[in-house]
Amino acid sequence: RSGEMAKLTQLIDNEVFRAYATYATIVLLKMMLMSLITAYFRMSRKAFVNPEDTASFGKGESAKKYLRTDPSVERVRRGHLNDLENIVPFLGIGLLYALSGPELSTALLHFRIFTGARIAHTFAYLIPLPQPARGLSWAVAYAVTISMAYKVLKTALYL
Amino acid sequence: RSGEMAKLTQLIDNEVFRAYATYATIVLLKMMLMSLITAYFRMSRKAFVNPEDTASFGKGESAKKYLRTDPSVERVRRGHLNDLENIVPFLGIGLLYALSGPELSTALLHFRIFTGARIAHTFAYLIPLPQPARGLSWAVAYAVTISMAYKVLKTALYL
Amino acid sequence: RSGEMAKLTQLIDNEVFRAYATYATIVLLKMMLMSLITAYFRMSRKAFVNPEDTASFGKGESAKKYLRTDPSVERVRRGHLNDLENIVPFLGIGLLYALSGPELSTALLHFRIFTGARIAHTFAYLIPLPQPARGLSWAVAYAVTISMAYKVLKTALYL
């Protein structure tokens, strides 16, 4: 048992893997924050989608008027979906990249730029900032993921 | 070759990692079930979104009337998206947590509560149960993920 | 340090793990392509959802007419979401499967069929091909994931 644990600890003790663990966790926590922001806007704007969520506002027509879409809620939801579409590839490709033996400094550069770009993307989407702020932050994170995918395929390719 | 395999087998033989593998697989199978439930409601309610899916009901207007949204279909789809939003963080953070050397009993507690809460969330969404059943089951799984993220960052933080 | 690196390299040197890394990366790159196709259709069809995205088309009513949904854009977005729903389980279950010590030939068969079926699914969705092309390609990838989940639970089950 303790021998196995030591092996696992070696993985988490590797600096590249620790950097991956840190930035993957940060970016996932950021994505999870979108749920709270959605809930905040649903409640402050009184814009719900499930009838059972409006039951506390009374019965019948008085509650039904809160079953509606709100531009702020929809905006946060689009940001959340964009996170899913871009953070899922980072999680998978980033893990394989971390195991492909990159230089620590190169790996840190990839993880930091990706994380920074996705945080910038969220601000650009929610404020919202004028374009090309959102498009650019999206493209930077996308390019970082492609760069890691290239390294993974160069190291591991086995078709 | 067999030396490497032995190493991999050691990972899957570690009890915490086996527990992660078990609960991650269960919760992913539960999420995959949402696709089947959506398909079931689309067919039983005859509510489709792609014109090519209604071709077997005839041509022109007779088929076009089945291109519509149905409340039950939309409800399952919302549950499915909520699964994606919450199970993706569990997969990523849970894997890193399993590699961060937690006590087996603590790890099992996290994995079991998360899995139970997400199964409860699905029932609360699909039946539907009155609130706060769905909100509470969502919050419990969310809190478990935050707790694992805290452990990962405490163990592995490398910025 | 170099001892740890050697251990990590052993993981990426394992043939089954290399095959997983290769096909997981391919299927994630394919999913990322959906973002570019969505952007292409949004621009060529001039169909946007965020007001800040239409600012370059002028102000007021002249820009507002581009805030609309387009069938081609919506079709790509549905394909993208279907990718997320099916590729996330493949990523998680496939990783655990690769660590559960399968035969190399069996693992390759699973990874290749899944990847081929998801590429076929994208073509079936975007062209679109008449049913059951899309349904069948979806079902094949789904069945491959279930088969890998069965192997993971058989090897690792720890409740």
Test the A interface: residue of B88, B91, B154 with most A CBs within 10 Å: B88
How many residues would you count in chain B? 159
Distance CA C121, CA C133 (A): 8
Does residue A150 form part of some domain?
A: yes
In the predicted model, is pLDDT for residue A5 greater than 50?
Answer: no
Give the per-residue pLDDT at C37: 98
Q: Which residues of chain B have pLDDT under 50?
A: 1-6
Report pLDDT digits (tens) over C100-110: 999 999 999 99
What is the CB neighbour count within 10 angstroms for residue A117?
A: 20
Show Cβ contacts of residue C117 under 8 Å, excluding neighbours closer than 6 positions: C137, C138, C140, C141, C144
Residue A1, domain member (yes or no): no
Domain presence at residue C2 = no
- Residues A111-134 have pLDDT tens digits of 999 999 999 999 999 999 999 999
Please determine, for residue C15, whether its predicted confidence score (pLDDT) is greater than 50: yes
- Considering the domain boundaries, does residue B7 fall inside one? no
Q: Give the closest residue to A18 by CA, choosing from A114, A116, A95.
A: A95
A65 within a domain of the structure (yes/no):
yes
Select from B158, B126, B131 the least CA-distant residue to B37: B126
**Are the beta carbons of A99 and C8 separated by less than 8 Å?**
yes
Chain C residues in contact with B84 by the CB 8 A cut-off are 84-85, 88
Collect all residues of chain B within an 8 Å Cβ-Cβ radius of residue A29: 89, 146, 149
| Structural domain includes residue B37 | yes
Chain B contacts of A17, Cβ < 8 Å?
156
Q: Do A24 and B96 touch (CB under 8 A)?
A: yes
| Interior/surface letters A86-111, b for 16+ CB within 10 angstroms, e for the rest | bbbbbbbbbbbbbbbbbeeeebbebb
Interface residues from chain A to C (CB-CB < 8 Å)? 7, 10-11, 13-17, 75, 78, 81, 84-86, 88-89, 91-93, 95-96, 99-101, 128-131, 134, 142, 145-146, 149, 152-153, 155-159
A129 to chain C, minimum CA–CA distance in Å? Answer: 8
pLDDT for residue A9: 55
* C-alpha distance from A70 to closest chain B C-alpha (Å): 17
Q: Output the pLDDT for position A59.
A: 76
Closest chain B C-alpha to A74 CA, distance in angstroms = 14
Q: Among all chains, which residue has been given the structure tokens 């899922």?
A: A88
C54–chain B nearest CA distance, Å: 27
What is the CATH number for A43?
1.20.120.550
**What is the torsion angle, in degrees rounded to the nearest 10, for the CA atoms of residue A9, residue B99, residue C83 and residue B113?**
180
Give residue A31's pLDDT. 98
Tokens of A42: 């649903």
Report field, pTM of the whole predicted structure over 0.90: yes
In a domain, C138, yes or no: yes
In the predicted structure, residue A29 carries a pLDDT above the cut 90 = yes
Asked whether the beta carbons of C29 and C20 are under 8 A apart, the reply is no
Q: What is the pLDDT of residue B62?
A: 79
Residue numbers in B near A49 (CB within 8 A): 78
Question: How many whole angstroms separate alpha carbon C95 and alpha carbon C152?
Answer: 10
**pLDDT-wise least confident of A45-49, A61-65, A96-100, C31-35:** A61-65
Residue C83 lies in a domain: yes
Give me the pLDDT at residue A2, please: 43
pLDDT for C78 equals 98
DSSP, collapsed to helix, strand or coil, labels residue B101 as coil
- B151 is in which domain, residue-wise? 15-157
Q: Identify which of B12, B55, B91 has the shortest CB distance to residue C155.
A: B12
- Number of domains into which chain A is organized: 1
Structure tokens at B70: 């149905």
**What separation, in Å, do the N-terminal and C-terminal C-alpha atoms of chain A show?**
35
- The string of pLDDT tens digits covering residues C126-139 is 999 999 999 999 99
Hey, how many other C-beta atoms are within 10 angstroms of the C-beta on C50? 16
Distance between the two ends of chain C, CA-based, in angstroms? Answer: 35
Supply the DSSP symbol for A132.
Answer: T
